């Protein structure tokens, strides 16, 4: 069965990567990377993803730095990014959202909620893409 969407999971904890892979594999082709450097190298190799789920605590550089790099790329800057973290203080959550994360989910998390949130973002993205195609379809250019 062909998966509808591509997902990149960037998470240091192998157990969390496994839970996300199991939970989301029905709807997503899931690629996992254990740190932000591997993820950037994977993205830089012209791999495509529709959604990124990232942790904050990782070797090489942290999740906030990873978000900044993704948002600085014209090719990647519109990809939705979810942050998964055990850091619960409000300032961290605000900082993630202001840096470019689209959602912040506290660990421990409900796998069913992650799936529901991911599918909600994909539905919205599909609607936006359909609306863009309608606006830029045949007859929209005057010659």
Residue 70 pLDDT exceeds 70: yes
8 A C-beta contact, residue 54 and residue 10: yes
Task: Give the model's confidence band at 136: pLDDT under 50 very low, under 70 low, under 90 confident, else very high.
Answer: very low
Structural domain total, the chain: 1
Residue 38: inside a domain: yes
Range of the domain at 38: 5-135
Q: Which helix (H) or strand (E) holds 24?
A: helix 14-24
Per-residue confidence (pLDDT) for residue 137, from 0 to 100? 46
Compute the average pLDDT of residues 83-112: 96
Q: Is residue 143 part of a domain?
A: no
Q: What is the dihedral of CA 59, 57, 8, 29, to 10 degrees?
A: 100
d(CA 32, CA 58) in angstroms, rounded, equals 14
| Spatial CA neighbour of 67 closest among 19, 119, 8 | 8
CA distance 9 to 16: 9
* Cβ within 8 Å of residue 18, ≥6 positions away: none
Cis peptide before 126 (omega within 30 of 0): no
For the cut 90, the answer to whether the pLDDT of residue 116 exceeds it is yes
Is 15 exposed, middle or buried, given 0-12, 13-18 or 19+ CB atoms closer than 10 A? exposed
Query: Residue 141's pLDDT is what?
Result: 34
Within-domain flag for 101: yes
pLDDT at position 140 = 40
Residue 49, in any domain of the structure: yes
Residue 140 lies in a domain: no
CATH number at residue 130: 3.40.50.2300
142 in a structural domain: no
The overall average pLDDT reported for the chain is: 88
pTM: 0.87
């Amino acid at each position: 069965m062909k998966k509808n969407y591509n997902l990149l999971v960037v998470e240091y904890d192998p157990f969390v990567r496994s839970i996300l892979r199991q939970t989301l594999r029905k709807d997503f082709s899931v690629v996992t990377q254990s740190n932000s450097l591997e993820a950037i190298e994977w993205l830089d190799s012209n791999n495509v993803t529709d959604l990124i789920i990232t942790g904050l605590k990782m070797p090489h550089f942290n999740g906030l730095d990873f978000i900044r790099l993704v948002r600085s790329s014209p090719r990647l800057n519109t990809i939705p990014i979810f942050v998964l973290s055990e850091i619960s203080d409000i300032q961290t959550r605000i900082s993630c959202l202001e840096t470019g994360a689209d959602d912040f989910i506290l660990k421990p998390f409900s796998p069913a909620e992650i799936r529901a949130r991911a599918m909600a973002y994909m539905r919205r993205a599909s609607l936006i893409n359909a609306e863009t195609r309608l606006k830029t379809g045949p007859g929209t250019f005057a010659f």
